[in-house]
Structure formats: C-alpha cells, structure tokens
Structure 1
Amino acid sequence: MRIGLIGAGAVASFHITAASVLEGIELTAVCDIDEQAARRATVGTGVAVFTDHRRMLQAGLVDAVIVNTPHSLHLPIAEDAAAASVHVLVEKPMATSVADCDRLIAACRASGVALTVGHIQHFLPEKRAAARVIASGELGRVRMIRDNRSTDYRPGTRSAWFFSPEIAGGGALINIGGHCLDRSLWLGGGRAVEMLADTASRFGSPVETDGSMQLLLDNGVGVTISVISDPATRSDSMTIVCERGVIEVDPRRGTTVHIDGRTRTVHESGPDDIQDAFTAQLADFAAVVGGAAPTVPLAHARHVVELVLAAYRSAETGTAVSFAAVEVLA
C-alpha cells in the first residue's frame, strides 16, 4: 500500500517511521503547504514532495493518505481523497462538528474507501495494559475515572492555527481534552449521557486554555477530566477506580495495579512506546483497508467530537448537557 502523508507537522516523523518499518507499506509522497517543512520531513527518503494535496492525489502515487492537518481541513481533504478512491486515516479530532463527521463518513462509504481516525491513545502500550487488566475481570467493574492532563496554550508556544476557533474548532479541550475523552470513554466502557464543563481563557488567548469536564456514562461510570495550561507540575495521568482495586496509568512511569495495599507494575514505560503506538495504528489502518474492523470505531470518534462541542455549550450556559439515546454508526 502506497501512503501519502498530508501535513508535515509535529507527529509527521512518527507516521513516516511507521510506514518505513511495516511490511507491505511504502511512503511515496508527503504534502505540506510549506514546501520546506515537507522536505525536512522527507530528508533521506527520496519520496515525492507536494504543496497541494489535490496534485498529490492526481499524480497516482498513493493508495491511501494520512491526513495530519489543522482540524477544520480534515473534512475537505478527506472528501477529496475519497473522491479519488484513496483510503483515509485522519488524525483526531475527526472533524470540528458532528455534521462534518457524518459528511466524512458518508463520503468514504459512498466511494468504497476505508476510513479510520487516529485516536492514538488506543495504541499506547500503557493504555493497552490498563485495558487488559480491566478486561480480565480481576478488579471487577470500573466505577470511576480521574483523568488529568497538562498542556501549554500560551500564545507563541505552538502554531498560530491552534489559536483560531475557526481552524482548530476550539482550544485545549478539542485538542488535549479530545485525548482524555477518547481514553476515558474507552476504558470506562460506555457512552456519555451527561456532561458538565467549565473553561478558562488565559494569557490573552482567543481559545480556551484550560477546562474541566464531568461525565456520567451510560453504565454508571463517573469521569472527571481536567486540562490545565502551563502548571508548575506537568501531568498526564489516569486513575481508574474499580470495585476491587485501582489502576494508575502514566506514560512516563507505566501502568500499575494496586489491590489492598499491594502494588504491581503491569507495564513499564520505555523510549519506544510512542513510536510503537503510531506503528500499531498504521498497521490497524492497513488491516481496515483489507476488510478488518477498526480498533477505534467511527461512532466512538464521532462521539468524542460530540462531547467536546457539548462541553463548550455547558461551559457557556453553566448547565449540564444531557444526551438522549442515539443510533450508533458502525
């Protein structure tokens, strides 16, 4: 399968390395509106460089693309790829509105091309270790989850498009909070039925820099998520409270299980964990192209976008947002 990467931003190197190590996959093109960024990402690879994704699609060099662009561009680029009968792996969030998620899904289905969404949390070894413990039943049911993430949304600390509500769809919650929603829903084992959120915009930022979300899932699991910008102490941690013990997950330290005063490590983090996750994600995409079901269902990716938008409504109105039963897309 010949892969084209559209967008040579922060995680481009992980995608490029993944394509280089997987058998049956070849990176054949990289596209970025900044030609120098594309050339820096491809140095030593010999792949074709484009500054217009449409020209890349017309060149006949790719069978599939990874869309690694600013959020609002996910839909139009994916629609162009689908129209060219090219399979699509789109980075999270799937889109910046639920309607656009539905358009993206419909475009790929109409063209008969595969679609997956890059929710990398599902492939990180420390999160997978937690999922295995939960699935084993050793600790009983999950009862509640606390998810804490730090970030940095001071203007000037990241590309300008992250601070554009129109291009990014929001700030820290749609970006970093999307990861928290993804993993908390997955490990919590349900869909949200209620959301209460609050946001803060500091540093003169036009988008939110901080936020909190409290969710109730349809299986009774309570989830608390905090995303804090520029704290003195950086964090990326989940605490999963189960009936008979507690799982703690941190990509810097690994995954531990604590039962009745005793702790054991079920995953010790290593320097290759992030790259291994991107490689596993691309392998999953290749399997979906071959007819397998995706590790991350499209309905799940769509629900993450739905929840981020609900968080914004809740923060604006100061009230909880409830979700009625919905038809789940395959």
Structure 2
Amino acid sequence: MRIGLIGAGAVAKYHVEAALALPGARFTAICDLDESAAARAAKDVEGVQFFTDYRALVESDDVDAVIVNTPHALHLPMAIDAARAGKHVLVEKPMATSLADCDLMQEETAAAGVKLAVGHIQHFLPDKVAARALLEQGELGEVVMIRDQRSTDYRPGTRPEWFFSRPIAGGGALINIGGHCLDRALWFGGAPAVEVSASVAQRFGVPVETDGTIALRLANGVGVTIAVVSDPPARSDLLAIVCERGVIEADPRVGTLVRVDGHTRVVRDPDAGDIQQAFTAQLADFLGVIDGDAPAVPLEHARHVVELVLASYESAAAQRSLQIPLRAEVPA
C-alpha cells in the first residue's frame, strides 16, 4: 500500500516512520505548503515525491492511500478529494469540526468505494493498551468512574497560529487536547455519553478557550471528569480508571500502574519508543481496515467524540448540562 501524507506538522515524522516500518506499506509522497517542513519529515527517505498542493498528491498514480494530518477544518475537503480520486483515507482526530461534516465524510468515502479510518492515537499508546488488557482480565471488576487530567499550553507563540483560529481549528484546548480525553474516557468507560456539563476559560488574550472541564454521564452509569489546563506548574497526562476492586493509572511518562487492596504494582514501564510504536500500530490497523478488517476505532465512536466536544461548547455557553445526542447540524 503506497502511502501519501498531507501535512508535515508535529507528528508527521511518526507517520513516515510507521510507513517505513511496516512490510505492507511504502511511503511514496508528502505534501505541505512549507516545502522545507516536508523535506524534514521525509529526510533520508528515497523515492518520495514532494507536493505543495494536496490535490496533486491525491491524484498521483503513486499513491493508494492518504493520511490527512492538517488543520481540523481541512479534514473534510481533503478526505473528499482523496476519496473521489480513489484513495483510502486515514484522517487525524478530530474527525471533523461538525457532525454534518463527519456524516458527509462517511457518505463520500462509502460512495467512492474507499475505506475511511480516524486516527485516535490513544487506542494504540502502550500504556493505554496495557490498561485495557488489565481490565479485560477481569481482576478489577467493572469500571465505575474515570478521572482524566491533561495539561497543555495555549499561550501565544507556543503552537502554530491556526490552533488559535476557531473557524480553522473548530475551537481551542477542548477540541484539541480534550478530544484525546473524551476518546479514551469513552473507550475505557464502555458506553456512549448521555449527558455532558462543561465550563471553559479563555486566557492569554487568545480567541479560543485555553482551559476547560467536562463532566460526562455514560449510558451505563459511569461518571467521567476531565480537566484540561494550560501552562500549569507541572505537566500532567494522567488517566485514572476506578474499578470495583482497584484503580488503574495510565500515564505515558510514568507507565501503567494498578492499586488493589492497599498494594501497588507496575503493569508496564514507559519506553522511549512508545509514541512511535503507537503510530506504527495505528497505521497497521488502517492497512487492516483497507483489507476488510474492523477498525480499532469505529467511525461512530470518532463521530461521538466530535459530538461531545460540540456539546461541551454548548453546555459551557448555556451554563447548564445537556442531554445527548445533539442535532446533526450544530456547528463547531
């Protein structure tokens, strides 16, 4: 499978290395408006075509599938153009910036007869995979509560300017970092959300939210609390999964730990190659989807993450909790 990458941003190097590592894939093309960024991402890779117009990449005869790694509002048009050119599509999270766009993306790829997958990397990170395996063993019983704490940085100059544009990014810290939290909360919680309550803060003089909290009630009764905070004294990425007979903590920098009846044990230690391992596993999953396998991240799950981000924004603006589902036409 010949892979083309659209967008040479921060995680582009992981996508490139994943394609180089898998025997069923070959990295053949990369596109970015900044040719130097594309060159850096594909450094030392032989036979790669470079493009500054993504439409030329998707029309290339040397590309079978594309990875869309671009600002959020561009996911839909790029996915549609790729699908109409007969290319399979892996689109980075969030799937899109509105539910209508999520639905249209699915309709267009299905009509074109190509496969679509959404890159929610949390499902492939080794610390989360270890936590999932521990849950499935049954030792801890059912999940009863989830707490998720994430730090980020939305100060001016800390990230590309498009992140601060609501029309392009779809929002701020919640659609970006909060999307990861919602994804893994739903995955470990084991059910869709039926109620959401959120609040946001807008600091540093930027036009999008920099901080936020989200509380979810899942259909199975599991309660979820999520906090995303910009520029705190200490960085955090801690997912706590509270079960009937113990608590799991997963943190990519600390590893996966479990505490049962007053005793803590390490399930998995972190490794310097964990992020690359996750991206390689994600691409392997995409190749499986192209071959007809079920995806690790169902499209309805990816759509629901977008739905909950939009509901969080609406809840914060209205200062009240909202029932799910939202109307499909609600924009970001």
TM-score range normalised by the length of the shorter chain: over 0.9
For residue 135 of structure 1, report the CA deviation from its aligned partner. Answer: 1.3
Q: Cα deviations across residues 146-183 of structure 1 (Å, max 9, x unaligned)?
A: 00000000011000000000000000000000000000
Tell me by how many angstroms 1:325 deviates: 10
Counterpart mapping for 1:193-272 below 5 A: 193-272=194-273
* Alignment partner, residue 33 of structure 2: 33
1:77 aligned onto 2:75: no
- Please state how far the C-alpha of 1:265 moved relative to its aligned partner: 1.1
1:297 lines up with 2:298 in the alignment:
yes
Q: How far does the alpha carbon of each residue in 1:111-163 deviate from its partner, in whole angstroms, 9 at most, with x for none?
A: 11011000000000100111111111111110000000000000110000000
The corresponding residue for 2:289 is 288
Aligned residue for 1:9?
9
Offset of 1:295 from its aligned partner? 0.3
Q: Note if contact 2:24-2:287 (Cα within 8 Å) is conserved in structure 1.
A: no
For 2:168 and 2:327, locate their aligned partners in 1 and report how far apart those are by CA, in whole Å.
28
TM-score for both structures, normalised by structure 2: 0.97
Measure, in 2, the Cα distance between the counterparts of 1:190 and 1:258. Answer: 24
Percent identity of paired positions between Structure 1 and Structure 2:
64
SS of match in other structure, 1:75:
helix
Unpaired runs of 5+ in structure 1? none
**CA displacement at 1:59 relative to structure 2:** 2.3
Deviation by residue 1:186-218 (Cα, 9 ceiling, x = unmatched): 011110000000000000010000000000000
Distance 1:97 1:326, change over 3 A: closer
AA in 2 matched with 1:26:
R
Q: Is 1:159 aligned with 2:127?
A: no
Residue 326 of structure 1 deviates from its aligned partner by 10
Q: Is residue 83–residue 108 contact of structure 2 (8 Å, CA) maintained in 1?
A: yes
Distance in 1 (CA, whole Å) between partners of 2:124 and 2:214 is: 23
Report the secondary structure of 1:241's partner residue: strand
The SS at the match of 1:194 is strand
SS in 1 for 2:141: coil
- CA distance in 1: counterparts of 2:37 and 2:246, whole angstroms: 47
1:278 and 2:279 equivalent? yes
CA shift for structure 1 position 97:
0.3
Would you identify which runs of 4 or more consecutive aligned residues in structure 1 move more than 2 Å?
324-327
Alignment of structure 1 residues 120-139 onto 2, 5 Å: 120-139=121-140
Task: Give the SS at the match of 1:203.
Answer: coil
Query: In the aligned structure 1, how far is the partner of 2:30 from the partner of 2:123?
Result: 25
Q: Which residue of 1 aligns with 2:20?
A: 20
Measured after TM superposition, the shift of residue 77 of structure 1 is: 0.2
Q: CA RMSD in A?
A: 1.2
- Shift of residue 56 of structure 1? 1.3
Structure 2 residues not aligned, in runs of 5+: none
Q: How far did residue 36 of structure 1 move?
A: 1.6
Question: Deviation per CA, 1:82-135, whole angstroms, max 9, x where unpaired?
Answer: 001100000000000000000001111111101100000000010011111111
Alpha-carbon distance between aligned partners in 1 of 2:151 and 2:291, rounded to the nearest angstrom? 38
Counterpart-to-counterpart distance in 2, 1:250 and 1:323: 29
2:274 and 2:322 mapped to 1: Cα distance? Answer: 36
The offset of 1:43, in angstroms, is 2.1
Q: Which moved more, 1:194-203 or 1:33-42?
A: 33-42
Do the aligned residues in 1 keep the contact of 2:76 with 2:96 (CA within 8 Å)? yes
Amino acid at match of 1:148: Q
TM-score (norm 1): 0.97
